[in-house]
Amino acid sequence: MEIRLQRVYERDPGGGAQVLVDRVWPRGIARERLAGVRWLPELGPSAELRRWFGHRPERWPEFRQRYREELTRPESQQLLQQLLEVAGREPLTLLYGARDQEHNQAVVIREVLEELARPR
C-alpha cells in the first residue's frame, strides 16, 4: 500500500488515484486544473478546528489529537474505508493546500489509513 502526500499547488498528475482532502477548495486553482481528482471536503478538519489551528506548529500535537477524534465519526470512517480500498489497488496521493508539509491534515489522514491497514 502506497500513500503519498503532495501539495496541490505542486501536483504531479501522474500515477495512481489523487484525492484532495481540504475542506475548502484551494485558492487560485481552477477546477479544470484538477480534473480527475476526487475532492472529499467532508474529510477535512472542521471549520472550527481549522481556524483554531491556524497552521501554527506549536498547536500541532493538539490539532492532531482533535482531528483524529473528528475522523472517528461514522461518515469519516466510511470515507477512510473507501480511501483504504483505493490504496489497496493503486498508489494513492492525498493532496492538500497548506504550505507546511509536516503539519497538515493529510499527514494525519495517512497515519490513520496506515493504522487501519495494519493486521489486527
Please, are residues 16 and 34 in contact by the beta-carbon 8 Å criterion? Answer: no
Q: Is the pLDDT of residue 23 over 90?
A: yes
Identify which of 93, 104, 85 has the alpha carbon closest to the alpha carbon of residue 24.
Answer: 104
CB 92 within 8 A of CB 86: yes
The residue type found at 91 is P
Average pLDDT, stretch 111-119? 92
pLDDT one-digit tens code per residue, 44-90: 999 999 999 998 999 999 999 999 999 999 999 999 999 999 999 99
Distance CA 38, CA 21 (A): 9
pTM, two decimal places: 0.93
